[in-house]
Structure 1
Amino acid sequence: MATPAPEYQTAPPAEKEIGVAPPTTGTNGTNPAIQRYDYGGNPLYRAHAGDEPRLAAFGGEFQPGLYRPTEHRKFANPAPLGLSAFALTTFVLSLVNLQTRGIEKPNIAVSLAYGYGGLIQLLAGMWEMAVGNTFGATALSSYGGFWISYAIILTPSFGILPEYPRDADTASVLGFFLAGWFIFTFILLLCTLRSTVMFFLLFFTLDLAFLFLATAEFAGSNGNAATSLGLQKAGGVFGLLAAFLAWYNAFAGIADTSNSFFIVPVFHFPWSEKGREARIKTDREQA
């Protein structure tokens, strides 16, 4: 008696390419091998399959590309929390960088850098890891680490800056620190080029803030006090813009028709997935 052939003798091409086991139906009618991609893998995997729709990029979810909704995982959206923690801490430090009302010392920002921008943003990044958002986990956790490390630098008991007796050396090492964050933010910026205007502008203004603050430290190290102050204030301006853009994206992620009378627009780029869909729809309507 011949043995009947299995239902799937070979894996579909797309699944074979990424090494996923052939589809088999489990007790709950799903494929466990494919389910693992809820928590990682190629974010564009089966992006255009009819049975697995993807949502468009959205700053309120801290997602720069197509992604699956997370309702079935019973997790709240941690992105607005992380964005709010980043926004408030950046807002206060940027006001100090602008020397608003004559304030020059960043001591008040240290408490926020530890407790809100640091700890809370780091926790939000870890929760982004839990919902399978690699970009959100990397960005929020990293900036949480930035605020904690910045607070450590400014805390006298750690004795970091006193190890550099010359003011020029202190400015130089702070410049190194900020230049590294400029490079990291630029990498994240590249990942937002196909998302939304408001999401892109958040990282664009933040990257410029790091650039101006780093060059301000280097100018101060070279003895150009006036140039250093001007660059520092420019960094403060872009920091304020980044803070308000972070709040804007946070509100976009919180507000819906159940709790708000209005929803803020996020402006998808024309070349993004959402932008192309809208353009195709418009062309069809005109035809």
Structure 2
Amino acid sequence: MTRSASGGPASEDTASEPLEVRPHSPVDHIADPGPLGLAAFAMTTFVLSCVNAGLAPKSVEPVVLPLALFYGGLAQLLAGMWEFRKANTFGALAFSSYGAFWLSFAAYVKFIAPGLPAADAASATGLFLLAWTIFTAYMTVASVRVSGAVAAVLIALLATFVLLTIGAYSGAAGVSRLGGYFGILTAVLAWYASFAGVVNATFKKPVLPVFPTAAR
């Protein structure tokens, strides 16, 4: 008996069709958008975190804005849309949301923050970061069913947001600086996950571990 690609029996009609006219999965031609989304998130996070950690002067912070718009924002948002097409709920929500985070961050820094009263600026920034801390907290819970590499990124990101939120509300520069260092760690972990994804896909075998979870 002829069997289908999934291992089940193929119908006589399907088995007799030429290969070029047999039905294919509509997502067979779509590459994994995960490495793109992770790379876009990593680079933008790294540059901003270098400023937050004090490794780069505050005066160079505007260099983050074009990255936030076009790579961390637009490219990551596109990765999220492709994850929707591939029916990956976690990837779709994560990349779309963090892409929107970078777009909203660019808009906030460029258009909103300069016009805020000095007395309210810290609270506004703290509230913005607090909202993203809450979102990241429940995405961290979900990430443990994706892979160890992705879970490590979300855990480090959650610590980053918590520290930056506390630093913004309290005005404690040392706490915000520590958040910057955790942001750099987050970027390194995200770059590794992206690197592993693209290398494994290109070599068509597991070259670098991503530490998959138990059977889903």
Shorter-chain TM range is 0.7 to 0.9
Q: Tell me the equivalent position of 1:203.
A: 154
How far apart, in 2, do the equivalents of 1:124 and 1:145 lie?
12
How far apart, in 2, do the equivalents of 1:134 and 1:170 lie?
35
Matching of residues 68-217 of structure 1 within 5 Å:
73-101=28-56, 103-105=57-59, 106-155=61-110, 158=111, 160-166=112-118, 168-217=119-168
Q: Which structure is richer in relative contact order (CA contacts within 8 A, separation 6 or more)?
A: 2
Q: Alpha carbons of 1:204 and 1:133: their partners in 2 closer, same or farther (altered >3 Å)? A: same
Preserved contact between residue 73 and residue 131 of structure 1 (Cα < 8 Å): no
**TM-score, normalization by structure 2:** 0.82
Q: Give 1:257 deviation, angstroms.
A: 7.9
**TM-score, normalization by structure 1:** 0.63
Q: Tell me the equivalent position of 2:200.
A: 256
How far apart, in 2, do the equivalents of 1:139 and 1:217 lie?
24
Question: Higher mean Cα deviation, 141-150 or 248-257?
Answer: 248-257
Which runs of 5 or more residues in structure 1 are unaligned? 1-24, 30-69, 221-227, 275-287
Which runs of 5 or more residues in structure 2 are unaligned? 1-10, 16-24
* Amino acid in structure 2 at the alignment position of 1:161: A
Q: Alpha carbons of 1:193 and 1:120: their partners in 2 closer, same or farther (altered >3 Å)? A: same
Q: Give 1:205 deviation, angstroms.
A: 0.3
2:215 alignment partner, one of 260, 266, 273: 273
Preserved contact between residue 85 and residue 116 of structure 1 (Cα < 8 Å): yes
1:240 alignment partner, one of 163, 173, 184: 184
How far apart, in 2, do the equivalents of 1:206 and 1:85 lie?
15
Preserved contact between residue 159 and residue 182 of structure 2 (Cα < 8 Å): yes
Q: Alpha carbons of 1:116 and 1:171: their partners in 2 closer, same or farther (altered >3 Å)? A: same
Preserved contact between residue 81 and residue 121 of structure 1 (Cα < 8 Å): yes
Identity across aligned pairs (percent)? Answer: 42
How far apart, in 2, do the equivalents of 1:218 and 1:173 lie?
9
Question: RMSD across aligned C-alpha pairs, in angstroms?
Answer: 2.5
